[in-house]
A and B are shown apart, each in its own frame.
Chain A
Amino acid sequence: MSETKTETAAEREAALGGIGCDKRRKEDARFIRGQGNYIDDIKLPNMVFGDFVRSPYAHARIKSIDAEKAKAVPGVIAVLTAADLKPLNLHWMPTLAGDTQAVLADEKVHFQNQEVAFVIAEDRYAAADGIQLVDVDYEELPVLIDPKKALEDGAPILREDVKDKDEVGQGPRRHPNHIFNWQSGDKDATDKAFAGAQVTVKEEIFYQRVHPAPIETCGCVASMDAVSGRLTLYGTFQAPHVVRTIVSLIAGLPESKIRVISPDVGGGFGNKVGAYPGYVCAIVGSIVLGRPVKWIESRIDNISTTAFARDYHMTGELAADKDGKITGLRANVLADHGAFNTHAQPMKWPAGFFNIVTGSYDVPTAHVTVDGVYTNKAPGGVSYRCSFRVTEAAYLIERMLDVLAQKIGVDKAEIRLRNFIKPEQFPYNSCLGWEYDSGDYPAALKQAMKAVGYEDLRKEQAEKRARGELMGIGIATFTEIVGAGPSRNCDILGIKMFESCEIRVHPTGSATARLGTKSTGQGHETTYAQIIATEIGIPSDLITVEEGDTDTAPYGLGTYGSRTTPVGAAAAARAGRKIREKAKKIAAHMLEVSENDLEWDVDRFTVKGVPDLSATMKDIAMAAYSNLPEGLEHGLEVVDYYDPPNMTYPFGAYICVVDVNRHTGEISVRSFYALDDCGTRINPMIIEGQVHGGLTEAFGIAMGQEIVYDDMGNVLGASFLDYFMPTAVETPHWETDHTVTPSPHHPLGAKGVGESPNVGGVPAFSNAVVDAFAHLGVTHMPMPHAAWRVWQTCHELGIDK
């Protein structure tokens, strides 16, 4: 039984390729060869292609739709309209936020490029020809673009379908264009704190409408097998099981007859969480025609119709004593959700976790209100590379800290050090109801300041200011809240937001693991294998990880909100531990000792005090199928459903340095330092890659991205010609660093990291830009900091000549 080889424990541990090593990614083997299998690569026999006729108007009544000419185009097979879907009750569909959304415009269009008809043809060329020939007669209606006007008396009523309803899924509302009012905190105590404050500051802060815009757009292939009655739906889904449940509810098919497959997904960032009309139309098309139907978004469709993010008009207020110690916080938000409330977040949270707005700071009392409104814009409100509305919250508090620092004349690092939650206060209960698990904020900021030479930078800045030059230093010391979530307060359609992992250890000592999450580029096939390797002592190279097929994976809620590591990885670790528990019983039988006499040793159980007497996991695996103690079931397979006891709270300290050209308004990012603390680090190489990517997306948002509408509701610039996508040339060099403060409640101590750089990156950039003008009395500048906007500030200050 004992091994003859005398590898040290360290050597055996290294051979596992487990937690903590920079394991190269398993998925890369296919991607670098062009052998990924993305949605548009899927080609089924007899497959046809569907695409949309879209509305040129933002608000209009549909008087008639004439598809006869389109149907006459060679290759066009069918044209679906709302009238065709109505008998099936599929012309509207429920949203994850309790509202309803038109699948195909029913009598009215509510935003430009809304789906009006679905043309199905033999290929995408014929479909495009057909789309051009569908005649739609519209009667234009008054357009509402400004959310601030949405709640005025006499504002055009957008959603006639719900105009008489007292609520649309998220509590009482007060106007036909009002969706919800959500509050958190103690209003009276907050009012009192402000009334008695030595210092107060207030700022209007708008976080503009942006889009996740993964390089692969959304799409699907629906294939209904008329004989078996089974529907297979391939698609770009971050949450395949949730899609299956939604499809079942919408289409009335039993879930056992629906198989949802997410193949390789070319980036998600929140864009691929929701359910879109394209999915429903492809399914209906397949049912009607008995042929597989493919739908693939164009880039313009992607940016102008599916899953925008942010669009939060925020007012932030801080009360403080004369030294800058915060005594109260107020935040009021007007949230523009567009034409339908299709935000994708846990259902009890219409404004997501916006009440993390107290950030990394010990704020004694606070009050927050968020009002959602309808406008004639694309529907949504998804979490673009962030946990639900955390980016908006972090942006507000990190900006407000700077505003306060400027007001009382304290350094922007110092104001943070004075207000941080102290290490000894953890677990920390915030005044808005969150229990922060762990953190050491002062240590992180001090390490960051030292790394960048903060004092010297401030000296240099002072010298430059004396010469009339503009240089800004931006700090963001953010706290994220991720890992939705605990069943007591997180659900989607009533389904609790647990995560799952099934592990099957095979007789010859390898394993297959299946999970309910779905990688969209984060490298789950590698990192889950690392976790399981460490837990069960089988090399990660011998562990195959599968996700994204609802026929094989256990039910899970998917990947978004940085929940894979906090929830999915916990399930993986716990499933591994269940394997080990059973393995221990088998090892005891094999070694003829009591379980109590065994100890775990990297990849085997060893008899305590007799290191030569051991059973390796490989041997135990075979024994599980061949040599079991009495009373134990065969096999070595488990499944774990993990309901997290709490969220995790990754944090970071970012410092950005910019130079500003006062003649042109151009910003040059001189350096960017990012320290992240995501608790236990599973694969440092992948963590660093996630940080690079998140910072780059933050750079795009802060410096140029915005979905702009004109007064007529025309969306301006929804292609990559106009929508600002940084190339390698503009993208700054990123310097990364870390501290490690494990989560006390997570089985591995890990917290998640993918979204931190976006949450912390945006305020770091913005704070740096504003800081460049701080000595001139500027306290806030609107995002994105495109050169023209920055120039406007220079111009108003008279320093642009």
Chain B
Amino acid sequence: MIPASFEYHRPGSVDEVVSLLAELGEEGRVLAGGHSLIPMMKLRLAEPAHLIDLTGVEGLRGIAEVEGAIHIGAMTTQAEIIKSDALAERCPILREAAELIADPQVRALGTIGGNAANGDPGNDIPAVMMAVDAAYVLRGSDGERTVAARDFYQGPFETALAVGEFLTAIRIPAPPAGQGQAYCKLKRKVGDYAIAATAVTLAVDGGVCGQAAVALTNVGITPLYAEAASTALVGTAVDAAAVEAAVEAAVAITDPAADLRGPVEYRRHAAGVMTRRAIETALARAKGG
């Protein structure tokens, strides 16, 4: 349980990171909180020759409101996400999800960017970002580009990040008025990966759902944006039939693996239960204010 040797870099600016990544190519990996990467290195499932520690990079940390949108630096920790009352006010699903990630020590170092970008389908943040329709700001030697969270995930630990690129920030559009949000996670114990989890945002106006987004954690090779489920809610009163249709549509796209958290059939069922629970919770919150 000892990592292989590597060279350590501690750049101070985004530009330095970019040039290090350009220079090192596939041999370089960025290190954020390290709580996914370091255990992988200790198991020697990951052996990067160079680690680029983002801790000292200026401008990657913090939560800000920019023209109504929420900008979160990639190196913002889960603990900071939880602590931010302003964020909880504007986009409560982030605190709700972050509190379900790992444990206090891991949240003290684990970052929102790391959780979003490393491509582990078991991570909680990706589905949340899909549900709030976030955009990821990526930097590389060709400059900056943004990719929608919903388009970012391509396979297990495979993402839209190109070699030489890294995630610097997450931008969340201003949540519409009357939106309710919920993240419901079924898990064996504190800190565990989800058996299944669902993130939902939905807005109701005059009893009619004007916007809805449903996304799922750990029930496929990537986090899943459940487009059909989202569509099934829009324009309805989010009544029993609409919820049922959305749940069915969400379950239909799941393709979980059997593991110690349960067989395939159970995990698909659980995805349905979590989706129903998340829709109902989000609806209640939408109606409640």
Contact = CB atoms under 8 A, between A and B. Distances in A.
Q: Is there a direct interface between A and B, measured as CB atoms under 8 Å apart in the complex?
A: yes
Contacts of B260: 706, 708, 716-717, 722
A132 B269 contact: no
Contact of B188 (A124, A716, A724, A800): A724
Given A129-B4, A132-B44, A730 B269 contact: no
A260 interface: no
A664 interface: yes
Nearest to B270: A664
A74 to B, nearest CB: 10
Contact of A786 (B103, B188, B270): B188
B263 interface: yes
Contacts of B195: 787-788
A795 B263 CA distance: 13
Interface of A: 124-125, 127-129, 132, 298-300, 663-666, 704, 706, 708, 716-717, 722, 724-727, 729-730, 786-788, 791-792, 795, 800
A786 B4 contact: no
A708 B261 CA distance: 12
Among B1, B186, B270: residue with most chain A CB under 10 A: B1
Scoring A664, A704, A727 by chain B CB atoms within 10 A of each residue's CB, the highest score goes to A664
A117 to B, nearest CB: 17
B2, B103, B270: most-surrounded residue (chain A CB, <10 A):
B2
A729 B189 contact: yes
Given A132-B4, A725-B189, A791-B269, 11 more contacts: A128-B1, A666-B186, A706-B260, A708-B260, A716-B260, A727-B189, A730-B190, A787-B195, A788-B261, A788-B263, A792-B266
Contacts of B191: 727
Given A664-B273, A704-B188, A729-B190, A788 B2 contact: no
Nearest to B266: A788
Contacts of B262: 786-788, 791
B186 to A, nearest CB: 6
Given A132-B4, A298-B1, A727 B190 contact: yes
Contacts, number: 63
A754 to B, nearest CB: 25
B20 to A, nearest CB: 25
Contacts of B4: 129, 132
B2 A124 contact: yes
Nearest to B267: A788
B2 A128 contact: yes
A125 B267 CA distance: 40
Interface string B225-263: 000000000000000000000000000000000011111
Nearest to B47: A132
A725 to B, nearest CB: 8
**Interface SS of chain B:** loop
Contacts of A791: 262, 266, 269-270
Contacts of A722: 259-260
Contact of B186 (A128, A132, A664, A727): A664
A215 to B, nearest CB: 15
A663 B273 contact: yes
Contacts of A666: 186
A726 B189 contact: yes
A60 to B, nearest CB: 21
A722 B103 CA distance: 15
Nearest to A729: B190
Contacts of B1: 128, 298-300
A724 B189 contact: yes
A704 B262 CA distance: 11
Q: Contact size class for B?
A: 20 to 34
A125 B189 contact: no
Centre residue among B191, B259, B260 by max chain A CB count within 10 A = B260
A788 B259 CA distance: 11
Nearest to A708: B260
30 contacts: A124-B2, A125-B2, A128-B1, A128-B44, A132-B4, A132-B44, A300-B1, A664-B270, A666-B186, A704-B189, A706-B260, A708-B260, A716-B260, A717-B260, A722-B260, A727-B189, A727-B190, A729-B189, A729-B190, A730-B189, A786-B188, A787-B262, A788-B195, A788-B261, A788-B262, A788-B267, A791-B266, A791-B269, A791-B270, A795-B265
A128 B5 CA distance: 11
A665 B267 CA distance: 11
Nearest to A722: B260
A724 B193 CA distance: 12
B23 to A, nearest CB: 26
Nearest to A728: B190
Interface string B33-53: 000000000001000000000
A795 B270 CA distance: 12
Nearest to B262: A788
B2 A800 contact: no
Contacts of A716: 259-260
A716 B257 CA distance: 14
The 9 nearest A-B residue pairs measured at CB: A788-B262, A128-B2, A788-B266, A729-B190, A298-B1, A727-B190, A717-B260, A730-B189, A663-B273
B188 A787 contact: yes
Contacts of A786: 188, 262
Interface string B187-206: 01111000100000000000
Nearest to A703: B188
A791 B195 CA distance: 13
A523 B18 CA distance: 57
A716 B259 CA distance: 9
A783 to B, nearest CB: 14
A369 B2 CA distance: 46
B267 to A, nearest CB: 8
A613 B191 CA distance: 67
Contacts of B263: 788
A128 B1 CA distance: 7
A795 B269 contact: yes
Nearest to B2: A128
A207 B188 CA distance: 20
Nearest to B193: A721
B7 to A, nearest CB: 15
Contacts of A127: 2
Nearest to A301: B1
Contacts of A787: 186, 188, 195, 262, 266
A390 B261 CA distance: 29
Interface in B1-59: 1-2, 4-5, 44
B271 to A, nearest CB: 11
Contacts of B266: 665, 787-788, 791-792
Contacts of B267: 788
A685 B10 CA distance: 51
Contacts of A124: 2
Nearest to A129: B4
Contacts of B261: 788
Contacts of A125: 2
Contacts of A724: 188-189
A367 to B, nearest CB: 37
Contacts of B270: 664, 791
Nearest to A663: B273
Nearest to B39: A721
